[in-house]
Structure 1
Amino acid sequence: MKKWILSLGILLLILSTVAVSASGHSEKSVSRKPPHHHRDIQLGIDRLLNEKKDLLKGKRVGLITNPTGVNQKLESDVDLLFHDPDIKLVALYGPEHGVRGSAQAGEQVDKYIDEETGLPVYSLYGDTKKPTPEMLKNVDALVFDIQDVGTRYYTYISTMAYAMQAAHENHIPFIVLDRPNPIGGTHVEGPVLDPKYASFVGLYPIPIRHGMTVGELAGYLNKEYHINADLTVVKMKGWKREMSYSDTNLSWVMPSPNMPAEDTALVYPGTGLLEGTNISEGRGTTRPFELMGAPFINGLKLAQHLNDLHLPGVIFRDASFTPTFSKYSGQLVHGVQIHVIDKQTYEPVITGLSIIKTIHDMYPDKFQFSAEDKNGISQFDRLVGNGWIRKDINAGVSIQSMEKKWQPASKQFEKKRKKYLLYK
């Protein structure tokens, strides 16, 4: 009997071992840890408070930030600095959408008092985009911490540049707390801005997709365009250039009301150009910059034409939607949704211009670029950074020919930026 029980026990042990081997699972394999780099990124704000607080000790601090200014635990910079006994936070400055992110695109925000801290909040969007001496009179150090999205015409980098100018003019140190470029730091794409078309959606000659962090960009602009601010960049630890935002251990906080996800940031360098046309860029939907269309478009035909271009890393699907605000508010709109299937090969600027050219060619009597101002410049020109691309689209020039035309300046930028790159 004992021998029988022993034999049965051995048989059960063998069967359980075989079952574990066949399933490929064990306690050890189920609890696999994520790749090392996912756990190892430290943001500029975390490094400032943990390692580099001496930069601010004994100084009255002004903070330029918005809801993305958080540490890895999603605690607000405003609260962290305000409650830190070693730091004296005295003023807040808000970019487009405000410090707390409550304003829609284009909505002006006036000076007010922050309810949580009682600190004055100065708007850097609207009539005053550059901090005035009056705004800075009680400030000994100016800190910038805002999540950028890697696109030239996203206005936060213009806010940073103006603030750097003001810091230099008022002899105030300027400190950038660095954050990832959410669409990676390896790809540069699109035309370099022609200075004749400089505006708040593009102040300096850089490509649409610049492939730099805000800290790197601050260094580049400071030296190449002689801003000459007393600049310190608090680098991240653990970020690598090839990383997309989903490769990090960081939670996505919306940089603006119409930038709800990492996918939005990825397509924005191209589909953001639709803002300079009469085509809805999907504002007023849950998928801004991924959905696009107009009442006069046949979505099935547009999707077919775009898929026939075989653009790398992307598929188009016909889609209809009704925006709740912005273009065609309350109207049924037909068009496409863009689906990125390969982030590495996807070319957002080429894709965005291909969408615009395709709709232009399909509906020449209904498609429109935004109106020109008294100088003959349209909002599309300001976004794309020149006047010739709009003319080439109207003249039937291919996107490939346009790309060849902008490539020399873009390649020159890539070479110049190398010495300002802070991460491998």
Structure 2
Amino acid sequence: MWKRWLAMGFLAFVMIFSSVSHHADGSRHVGKPAKVKTGLEILLEHPDRLKGKKVGLITNPTAITRDYRHALDAMLEAGIQVVKVYGPEHGVRGTEQAGDEPGSFEDPRTGLPFINLYGKQPGEMVPLFDGVDVLVFDIQDVGTRFYTYIYTMAYAMEAAAEAGKPFIVLDRPNPIGGVKVEGPVLDPAYRSFVGLYPIPQRHGMTVGELARLFNEEFFPQEGKKKADLTVIAMKGWKRNQLYEDTGLPWVIPSPNMPTTDTALVYPGTGMIEGTNLSEGRGTTRPFELLGAPYIKGWELAEALNKENLPGVSFREAYFNPTFSKYAGETVGGVQVHLEDPERFSPILTGLVIIEKVKQLYPEDFAWRKDGNEYWIDKLTGSDRVRKKLDAGVSARKIAEEWEGELKDFRKLRARYLLYPPKGHKQ
């Protein structure tokens, strides 16, 4: 009998152990991943919809099938006539660092022109679309308002509308889920290329849903032509899924977004860019390693862990960035250890980190300025966060004040969702 119970216990252990897996790249999934089909894969099942059309493909390395074929190769193999390829920030090949302008060149393998769109206004894009019948956008976003790919999409949609060319978005998952909506809604007075439209810092929408929102809501408000927009939706994606639940391979969307954990913390720790702390650029854990030479790692870790923030813990850490802030210097700080993505609140966490650094090191902490403007204001979409933190208002109090505007946004976005929530509060 005892052998039977031992065997049953061992089986139960194996089942429990195997139901949760953690990967070396910092990603995780629970249970067996679902089979989600991206918009690209749906298009490839019906390539005739682009028959006879000269296609301009807006893309980067993330546009792959589940068997790792890039959209460009897969489309050419399917008989789709791609004639030009366009890239966002970081370039078609994803090699450039943030803010660096990628060049345009002829691809030596296909002979196609690879054309940079980053830094260009819609009017500058219009002539770049000459010789193209239809634009197709396929890029993996990360779900944060200040990640720029969605604005390359928006500008390209404007340019396509001006040029009289249809625009197709091949949809992909929001890697941090489509349920939670968090953070301040952008004040249009603070619009920039890290925030063009009044959406929250964590918007909980896919690129296809955002394209619909921009086209139907914001373009008309600004007196712009609406694009002839088609979104090819995914099959099998649910709003409560994180990226690991999809069964799709992860390709880094930009040089400093190496893992899905990076994407999960980014809506909050991305705000560190607006301070004189290193956000971990120049390390293997950007946006998870945070600090400055003036910080005592043990002191900050202790203060943050006392806050009992949901789903996260902090470890004393030291690092030497190879580039960006404090390159070549020893930096003290913390590593953000994500424990429970469902409970984790990235933007509250980011605010509390800044709050504690300001309290512990008031003579050393500073906001980063971009000319005469504070970068944190661009990231958070107004000067409210900066001014309230400077006035000593607690991070938790600041976060509570967003609830009204988030409620309004949830109502607005509901009209443009392609994958309605089922039993999940938006």
C-alpha displacement at 1:308, in angstroms? Answer: 1.2
CA contact (8 A) 1:130 1:159 kept: no
1:233-280 superposed Cα distances (whole Å, 9 cap, x missing partner): 111111111011111211110000100000000000000011111100
Matching residue within 93, 103, 107 for 2:86: 93
C-alpha change, 1:47 and 1:395, in structure 2 (3 Å) is: same
2:47 touches 2:78 (CA, 8 Å); kept in 1?
no
Partner in structure 2 of residue 418 of structure 1: 414
Cα gap change, 1:372 to 1:16, in 2 (>3 Å): closer
Determine if the alignment matches structure 1 residue 404 to structure 2 residue 391.
no
Tell me the amino acid that sits aligned with residue 399 of structure 1. Answer: A
Tell me the equivalent position of 2:163.
Answer: 170
Equivalent residues of 2:126, 2:160 under 8 A apart: no
Q: CA deviation at 1:333?
A: 0.3
The residue that corresponds to 1:47 in the other structure is 42
CA distance, structure 2, for counterparts of residue 182 and residue 135 of structure 1: 31
| Distance in structure 1 (CA, Å) of the matches to 2:9 and 2:213 | 56
Give the Å deviation of 1:365. Answer: 1.1
SS in 2 for 1:181: coil
Q: 1:309 aligns to what SS in structure 2? A: coil
Of residues 268, 289, 292 in structure 2, which corresponds to 1:291? Answer: 289
- Supply the distance in 2 between the matched residues of 1:195 and 1:208 (Cα, whole angstroms): 14
Structure 2 unaligned regions, length at least 5: 20-28, 221-225, 421-426
Match of 1:272 in 2: 270
Q: Separation in 1 of the partners of 2:16 and 2:353?
A: 45
Residue in 1 that maps onto 2:380: 384
- Which structure 2 residues correspond to residues 1-400 of structure 1 after superposition, within 5 A? 23-24=10-11, 38-50=33-45, 52-85=46-79, 87-127=80-120, 132-226=125-219, 228-371=226-369, 373-374=371-372, 377-400=373-396
Shift of 1:404: 3.0
Residue in structure 2 matched with residue 7 of structure 1 by the alignment: none
Structure with higher Rg: it is 1
Could you say if the C-alpha distance between residues 403 and 134 of structure 1 is closer, same or farther in structure 2, counting changes exceeding 3 Å?
Answer: same
Percent identity between the aligned chains?
A: 53
Change (3 A) 1:330 1:234: same
Count of paired positions: 405
Q: Which amino acid aligns with 1:383?
A: L
Q: Residues 302 and 43 from structure 1, CA distance in 2 versus in 1: closer, same or farther, beyond 3 angstroms?
A: same
* 1:162 Cα offset (Å): 0.5
Q: Note the alpha carbon deviations across 1:331-358, whole angstroms, 9 max, x for none.
A: 0000001111111111001110111111
* 1:191/1:385 contact within 8 Å kept: yes
Structure 1 unaligned residues grouped into runs of 5+: 1-13
In 2 relative to 1, CA 179–354 (structure 1 residues): closer, same or farther, beyond 3 Å?
A: same
TM-score, normalising length: structure 2 = 0.90
Contact 2:122 2:159 in 1 (8 A): no
CA distance in structure 2 between the partners assigned to 1:17 and 1:346 by the alignment: 41
- What's the CA shift string for 1:191-222, capped at 9, x where partnerless? 00011110110110000000011111111111
Indicate how the Cα distance of structure 1 residues 17 and 405 shifts in structure 2: closer, same or farther if over 3 A, else same: closer
More deviation, 126-135/354-363:
126-135
1:410 Cα deviation (Å)? Answer: 1.6
